[in-house]
């Protein structure tokens, strides 16, 4: 098992039990591209969305099991914490959710629907190291 596969199983326990579909929700195209490159090969399917509307369309088929959502999607979008809370209630297929934030990390009130908080980094090596930390 390569390092990326180990990373994926640490962040998303149970990853091997069924079709592994990951949804990455972030308004920054560079972040989506980086996460897709780092994690995409470890899932059967990886989807991306730039906003809550696109994400809801991706979640509608009930196939998404793993979710990474940005805390702040910009504009008039709800915060990632609110979206994860809502999506966990509406989509029981979601097995594991990660809130992704580049700032405000100390000020975030994390609801129980969020399994892990990961801080963004512009340096992919730092991001990978942060993602490799075992889930609490």
* Least confident interval from 11-15, 37-41, 113-117: 11-15
**For residues 105 and 63, which has the higher predicted lDDT (pLDDT)?**
63
**101: domain CATH number?**
3.40.50.2300
- pLDDT for 134: 46
Token pair listed for 73: 């999607």
Residue range(s) defining the domain that contains residue 13: 3-132
Distance CA 117, CA 97 (A): 9
Nearest to 73 by CA among 58, 59, 54: 54
Across the chain, what does the average pLDDT equal?
80
Decide if 122 contacts 102 (C-beta within 8 A): no
Number of domains in the chain: 1
Q: Please tell me the pTM assigned to this model.
A: 0.76
- pLDDT for 88: 96
| pLDDT mean over 67-91 | 94
């Amino acid at each position: 098992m390569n390092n990326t596969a180990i990373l994926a199983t640490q962040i998303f326990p149970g990853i091997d039990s069924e079709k592994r579909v990951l949804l990455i929700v972030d308004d920054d195209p560079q972040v989506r591209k980086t996460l897709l490159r780092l994690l995409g090969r470890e899932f059967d399917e990886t989807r991306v969305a730039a906003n809550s509307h696109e994400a809801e369309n991706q979640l509608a088929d009930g196939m998404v099991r793993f979710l990474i959502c940005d805390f702040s999607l910009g504009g008039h979008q709800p915060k990632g914490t609110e979206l994860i809370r809502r999506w966990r209630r509406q989509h029981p297929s979601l097995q594991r959710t990660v809130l992704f934030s580049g700032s405000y990390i100390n000020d975030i009130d994390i609801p129980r629907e969020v399994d892990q908080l990961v801080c963004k980094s512009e340096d992919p090596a730092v991001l990978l190291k942060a993602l490799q930390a075992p889930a609490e």
